[in-house]
Amino acid sequence: MIRRIAALAVALLLVTPAFVFAGGQAEPEGEPVQELTIYTTTESYDPIRYEAAFMIADAWQELGFQINVSPMEFSSLLQLFYDEQNFDATILGWSGRVDRLDPQHFLGTLHGEQTDLGANNPGGYENPEYDELFVAQSREFDPERRRQIVQQMQAIAADDNPVDVLFYRDEVVGYNNTKFTDFVVMAGESLYNEWTPLEVTPLTDDRMLTIGTPQEPDTINPLDSTSVWGWKFMRMYYDKLVRLSPDIEPIPYAAEEIVDVDDTTIDVVVRSGMTFHDGEAVTAEDVKFTYEYFIDNDFAYFRPFLSDIESIEVVGGDTVRFNLAEPVASFITVTLSQIPILPQHIWADIENPADLAPDEIPTVGSGPFRFDQYDRGEYKRLLTYEDHFDADRIEIDGIDYIIYADSEGVFTGLLTGEIDMTAWRMEPGQIEIAEDEEDITVVSVGDFGYYHMTYNLRRSPFDDRLVRQALSYAVDRDTIIDVLLQGLGEPGYSVVAPINAFWHNPDITRYTYDLDRSRELLEEAGYTWDSEGRIYAPN
């Protein structure tokens, strides 16, 4: 239904007849542009991305392109996008996890060293000037000077346009206010963050917090997961040296103390008395092993966090010293908050961790909750780890995760009381229904993640900057926001969202909907049209 409305909106706006495309050329030079495919999620997983793909396809076809829209199951789409890089253009999203308020991650998704399989730049964008600035900002400790570099990078990326930032979507979720209270709300993550299970207070005898999700983890292998669904589960049973507070301040967690010895030497004192869930002590040697294990296995997803570590040593028994090749401004807030501490006595004998079968993956961590059960496609369970140093403040017995087939199932679970909170945003049509329910509290926060159309720059015609710009001018963001999102979001234009105000650059190129401008850019790039309006690439 939404797609029919959206298609009608596009049709009313696209009034230029096909013969204008021909430009009087009965026999255009060059070859017809081959059919292009836009990959997106299924309608049941995310109707907004699904409908947006068809809207964009309609507009691109008005420009003379032949477009196929291919919806895919989410995990399969991630594999196609990251692990195979076998796509023309793909609509996906980056979630606004708290560690990503530092611009390091989002800027790194366009870094030239992140173009290999499995890494964060699947589109293959490379720009030496951008890469040089990326290194410069990561080593700049003065916030204002770093801010200037970060804003310059956003301007370069907007002009080159390897990734079209489509929109920023409000995070609107809900919880059952008769079961638990004291939920923690965080920017970008809303209720589904790592502090809610530590803070919620039961209002009944039911002490298991039940969360509904429309997607299961891509994997629970900590060296192979690239999705938010994997990490938001695993981060509860693995400890990290640092956790970011609800106010986005770095809090030493498995670390008792962090000392800047100098610009390139960081000492981390490991908290005493910690144990893994199998009872073995957590030591400085485990921390050293973990970071070296991630580095040695060169897992592309983590490479940006670890690339500046020159060596790691244990000093004084309980202290891990990180020796950096260069100063890294985000080392404490990003690197120390992202790597899960692994038990050396379990992982040391695993030579190829990425090749582990699902039933071979170790699940022993040292976090505030311990792994109990995972039935793929149906259910997950974590139980409170009573020997954890943070256990005294945890008032729940554990966390149940119910995996539904789609977001409608999650919403039904919330209405019926089967779940206590949603791990996924509600669709616009569900929000008003939820607000009328006395037992449900609706929470809305802005997001600093974004939804994007990534072009594969290794393929024609996406290897041409003018073509990428032309295609982005053919994206009707206002209709996506007004019709599909019903106003719950804003048009996108930068990989650093406006809500992240300190780092965001508001004065960069914005691709407002303008098909005439699209045609001008295509003509400038040498494209022509035949008498039927089909577009031809230049020789």
CATH number at residue 316: 3.90.76.10
Residues 7, 145, single domain; the answer is yes
The Cα–Cα gap between 221 and 199 comes to 27
CATH number at residue 188: 3.40.190.10
Residues 56, 165, single domain; the answer is yes
The Cα–Cα gap between 453 and 390 comes to 41
Non-local CB neighbours of 435 within 8 Å, separated by 6+ positions? 442
- Strand segments, DSSP code E, in 42-79 are 67-72
- Strand segments, DSSP code E, in 214-282 are 242-244, 250-252, 255-262, 265-270
- pLDDT at position 14 is 43
Q: How many CB atoms lie within 10 A of CB 457?
A: 21
Residues 139, 9, single domain; the answer is yes
User: How far is CA 350 from each of CA 54, 239, 345, rounded to the nearest angstrom?
Assistant: 45, 20, 10
Residues 316, 340, single domain; the answer is yes
Tell me which of 394, 415, 445 is where a domain ends.
445
The pLDDT profile of the chain, 539 residues, written as one tens digit per residue, is 444 444 444 444 444 433 344 444 457 888 999 999 999 999 988 999 999 999 999 999 999 999 999 999 998 999 999 999 999 999 999 988 888 888 999 999 999 999 999 899 999 999 999 999 999 999 998 999 999 999 999 999 999 999 999 999 988 999 999 999 999 998 888 899 999 999 999 999 999 999 999 989 989 999 988 888 899 999 999 999 999 888 878 999 999 999 999 999 999 999 999 999 999 999 999 999 999 999 999 888 888 889 899 999 999 889 999 999 999 989 998 899 999 999 999 999 999 998 999 999 999 999 999 999 999 989 999 999 999 999 999 999 999 999 999 889 999 999 999 999 999 889 888 999 999 999 999 999 888 899 999 999 999 999 999 999 999 999 999 999 999 999 999 999 999 999 899 999 999 999 999 999 999 999 999 999 999 999 999 98
Find the domain containing 503 and state its range: 2-13+34-169+447-537
Residue 356 lies in a domain: no
Residues 208, 291, single domain; the answer is no
Q: Which of 402, 393, 345 is nearest to 368 (CA)?
A: 393
- Strand segments, DSSP code E, in 4-141 are 31-32, 36-41, 67-72, 89-94
Residue 29 lies in a domain: no
304-308 CB contacts, 8 Å cutoff, 24+ apart:
304/104, 304/105, 304/108, 304/111, 304/114, 304/120, 305/334, 305/335, 305/338, 305/339, 306/335, 306/339, 307/113, 308/138
Residues 416, 470, single domain; the answer is no
CATH number at residue 66: 3.10.105
Residues 58, 135, single domain; the answer is yes
DSSP state string for 467-535: HHHHHHHT--HHHIIIIISTTSEEE---SS-TTSTTT--SSS----S-HHHHHHHHHHTT-EE-TT--E
- pLDDT at position 9 is 45
Residue 359 lies in a domain: no
Tell me which of 297, 316, 347 is where a domain ends.
347
Residues 337, 483, single domain; the answer is no
Q: Give the number of domains in the chain.
A: 3
Residue 357 lies in a domain: no
C-alpha 496 chain-centroid distance: 12
Residue 353 lies in a domain: no
The full 3-state SS of 406-429, as one line of letters, equals CHHHHHHHHHHCCCCEECCCCCHH
- pLDDT at position 26 is 54
Residues 102, 251, single domain; the answer is no
Residues 380, 331, single domain; the answer is no
The Cα–Cα gap between 52 and 48 comes to 6
Positive/negative CA dihedral, 108, 170, 225, 247: positive
- What's the pTM value of the predicted model, to 2 decimals? 0.82
The Cα–Cα gap between 182 and 204 comes to 14
C-alpha 307 chain-centroid distance: 20
Non-local CB neighbours of 226 within 8 Å, separated by 6+ positions? 78, 82, 118, 218, 301
Residues 86, 9, single domain; the answer is yes
Do 458 and 248 contact (CB within 8 A), yes or no?
Answer: no
- pLDDT at position 99 is 80
Residues 271, 343, single domain; the answer is yes
Residue 154 lies in a domain: yes
Residue 152 lies in a domain: yes
Tell me which of 394, 420, 445 is where a domain ends.
445
Residue 189 lies in a domain: yes
Q: Which of 500, 471, 424 is nearest to 166 (CA)?
A: 471
